[in-house]
């Protein structure tokens, strides 16, 4: 059965208490922590989505020189880039890896 987790503060309440959802978030965190490249596609990284933003930030803590390479694919990437920078994601890694469309990203990266 499909399950959509809205980008909201509600995850701090009832939704995040679901065992299967906590396991999904734990696996996502581990994958992000171990990833060499992370691509954010069409996600605004809203300040309201505390769990997602926290998971992204924490997954990169302590990586130092081995911080993941981040790529942003969005029609208007300024918002997601600003949020990633606020989270402490390296600016030089972001500025070189911005794509205005999915087709541009596929053409250049795949």
Overall pTM > 0.85 = no
Query: pLDDT, tens digit, for every residue of 48-106?
Result: 787 788 888 888 887 776 778 888 999 998 888 888 888 877 666 666 788 999 999 99
CA distances from 100 to 43, 76, 86 (A): 13, 7, 21
Query: pLDDT, tens digit, for every residue of 18-39?
Result: 787 788 888 989 999 999 888 9
Which of the 8 DSSP states describes residue 7?
Answer: S
Confidence (pLDDT) at 79 = 87
Confidence (pLDDT) at 5 = 64
| Distance, CA of 2 to chain centre | 21
């Amino acid at each position: 059965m499909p399950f959509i987790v809205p980008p909201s503060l509600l995850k701090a309440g009832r939704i995040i208490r679901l065992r299967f959802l906590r396991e999904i978030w734990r696996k996502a965190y581990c994958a992000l922590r171990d990833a060499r490249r992370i691509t954010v596609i069409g996600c605004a990284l809203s300040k309201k989505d505390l769990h997602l933003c926290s998971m992204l930030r924490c997954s990169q803590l302590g990586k130092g020189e081995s911080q993941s390479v981040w790529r942003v694919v969005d029609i208007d990437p300024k918002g997601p880039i600003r949020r990633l920078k606020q989270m402490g994601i390296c600016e030089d890694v972001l500025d070189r890896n911005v794509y205005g469309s999915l087709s541009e990203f596929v053409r250049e990266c795949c």
